[in-house]
Structure 1
Amino acid sequence: MRINGLEYHVETAGDGEPLLLLHGFTGNGNTWNDTVSILRDEFRCIVVDIIGHGKTEKPDDPGRYDITKAAADLRAVLLALGIRRASVLGYSMGGRLALTFAVQYPQMVDKLVLESASPGLKTEAERLARRERDEQLAERILTGGMEAFVSHWENLPLFASQKQLPAEVREKIRKQRLENDPAGLANSLRGMGTGAQPSWWGRLSELHFPVLLAAGEWDAKFCRIAGEMEEQLPHAKKIIFSHAGHAIHVEDPKKFGTMIKGFLKNC
């Protein structure tokens, strides 16, 4: 699908009310396969490979990866599919992108689900420090190659709970990460990393649609962030998933999919 000058990989499944699904950094649309299998009987699932990931084009200019431009691409994707309003589900980086989309185009959002996501960093000092760290990581990806980077990434404390997953699931996640392009990932960090994006904390009170904030009990940082967001969003509900870490949809796919379906149907 040609969107704003870029080739986007988009897959759809099911019928019903539209739901846009946005994966995390190093992922692709396939990360949602288990979730889609639960939701597709009642929702039209639109699964996008975010710029720099999967089969979507990976331009050389880091500025093209700006999170507000990526959100504008999503708007164009939905309109190209004849969709003027949809619910949006985003995980981690995809959650930050989902929130950016919601802030920019609130009239296009029915309901919003944010899994292990944040509105960004509150101060410019925090954003600058994070940009510097992300630039170092981007250089590490480009100079060290994907194998070394993925080994580093999957051993971050953030993903420690995934070591409890069955070996075949962990291998599937690793394979998916390795399929990404080094330049695409590096530019994603530079263009839409947490330090590169605007802070949306001051805009949360403007969002008047239902929002579900999902976090895993073993992910203390994002449990705290979800709690702070819940206080500022007019119509938010926080769910803490037991026995799960950062990637709930991977660690407990059945429970995650069932809870999301319930929220989207009944809220």
Structure 2
Amino acid sequence: MAQSDGARIHYDSFGEGEPVLFMHEFAGDHRSWLDQARWFARGRRAICPAARGYPPSDVPEAAEAYGQRLANADALAVLDALELERAHVVGLSMGAYTALQLAIYHPARVRSVVAAAGGSGAYKPTRDAFIAQTLAMADAIATAGKLPVEEMGTTATRIQLLRKDPLGWAQFCANLSEHPATGAANTLRGVQAARPSLYDLERELAQVDAPVLLLVGDEDEPCLDVNLWLKRIMPTARLQVMPGAGHALNLEEPAAFNAAVATFLDLVETGRWRPRDPIAQPGADMYRGR
């Protein structure tokens, strides 16, 4: 357990070597990264926290005990508990947002960022609807005292996992059914609905120095435009689109996900990663060189 601003944050740590901090999505938890932990712990240190509100981490009752600032602090608390100066940060969805936040506000703690399936709720034309739906879901979960697991597992961006890997989908649902309603509702209200849109952080994102890999599925409609925009405004970012994939990329396509992340980390660690050449920036004259 790591102590962080009124909550204890559980984490698993496997292997030795360069640390890789895996930050899960809203519908996941520390167990979502099992395929990644098995792979990356062979030569690195794989660290998988459970966010506050997700057991075995503490589940505070108070709504004010949740928020993006606290999510950032919790990630840093795990690094501090392990006495790690910095780490590669790999995040999915909610975890991707936190990974980008750490790169903006705590750059000394971040060696690189993999932001996978990031950007839910950021796209301006659909943002109001996203916030309204998120708050409505929080109310429904709080009233029912449980999560609508099957409904959540068969949405437009999650049906891909069921079609590809029924066993993996069943495990996803089993894990999700164990999430406490209090933690889920408070996370929806305090983190998902309350965090700024990535578009409101354009200046900060454009100044990120850490190497960034953006991963998105081509059937993850809410995140597609956001990731193309991130690629355009972040000179440090590379974009990889995974075909036929929805939101839970690491569960849907673990081999492809692991390979993409491993290649990226190898480039960073061997000094072969480079930011985008200025001549290739958006708006450059395509017919003129240096």
- TM-score of the superposition, structure 2-length normalised? 0.85
**Residue identity matched to 1:178:** S
Q: 2-side partners of 1:166 and 1:249: how far apart?
A: 12
Q: Does 1:165 align with 2:167?
A: no
**Residue identity matched to 1:183:** T
**Residue identity matched to 2:158:** F
Which position in structure 1 is the counterpart of 2:134? 134
CA deviations over 1:142-168 (Å, ceiling 9, x no partner):
222425x11221122121212213322
Which position in structure 2 is the counterpart of 1:57? 58
Q: 1-side partners of 2:81 and 2:154: how far apart?
A: 39
Shift of 1:128: 5.5
Alignment of structure 1 residues 30-109 onto 2, 5 Å: 30-109=31-110
For structure 1, list consecutive stretches of 5 or more residues without a partner in the other structure. none
**Residue identity matched to 1:190:** R
**Residue identity matched to 1:93:** M
Which position in structure 1 is the counterpart of 2:186? 187
Alignment RMSD, CA only? 1.9
**Residue identity matched to 1:166:** D
Name the count of aligned residue pairs: 264
CA deviations over 1:214-261 (Å, ceiling 9, x no partner):
011222332221111011112111001123211111111011111101
Which position in structure 1 is the counterpart of 2:283? none
Contact 2:4–2:73 (CA under 8 A) maintained in structure 1: no
Moved more, 149-158 or 126-135: 126-135
Shift of 1:133: 2.4
Which position in structure 2 is the counterpart of 1:227? 228
Q: 1-side partners of 2:242 and 2:95: how far apart?
A: 19
- Ranked by relative contact order (alpha carbons within 8 Å, sequence separation 6 or more), the top structure is 1
Shift of 1:120: 5.8
Q: Judging changes above 3 Å, is the alpha-carbon distance between structure 1 residues 235 and 132 closer, same or farther for their aligned structure 2 residues?
A: same
**Residue identity matched to 1:184:** G
Q: 2-side partners of 1:34 and 1:99: how far apart?
A: 23
Q: 2-side partners of 1:93 and 1:127: how far apart?
A: 15
Moved more, 73-82 or 171-180: 73-82
**Residue identity matched to 1:157:** A
Q: Does 1:16 align with 2:14?
A: no
**Residue identity matched to 1:4:** D
Q: 1-side partners of 2:30 and 2:184: how far apart?
A: 15
User: 3-state DSSP class of the match of 1:87?
Assistant: strand
Which position in structure 1 is the counterpart of 2:248? 247
Q: 2-side partners of 1:203 and 1:120: how far apart?
A: 18
Shift of 1:92: 0.7
**Residue identity matched to 1:160:** I
Contact 1:26–1:53 (CA under 8 A) maintained in structure 2: no
Q: 2-side partners of 1:121 and 1:167: how far apart?
A: 30
Shift of 1:119: 8.2
Shift of 1:126: 6.5
1:197 is aligned, of 195, 198, 221, to: 195
Q: Judging changes above 3 Å, is the alpha-carbon distance between structure 1 residues 119 and 220 closer, same or farther for their aligned structure 2 residues?
A: closer
**Residue identity matched to 1:144:** A
For structure 2, list consecutive stretches of 5 or more residues without a partner in the other structure. 269-290
User: 3-state DSSP class of the match of 2:108?
Assistant: helix
Shift of 1:113: 0.1
Contact 2:165–2:252 (CA under 8 A) maintained in structure 1: no
Question: Could you tell me the percent identity over the aligned residues?
Answer: 28
Shift of 1:84: 1.2
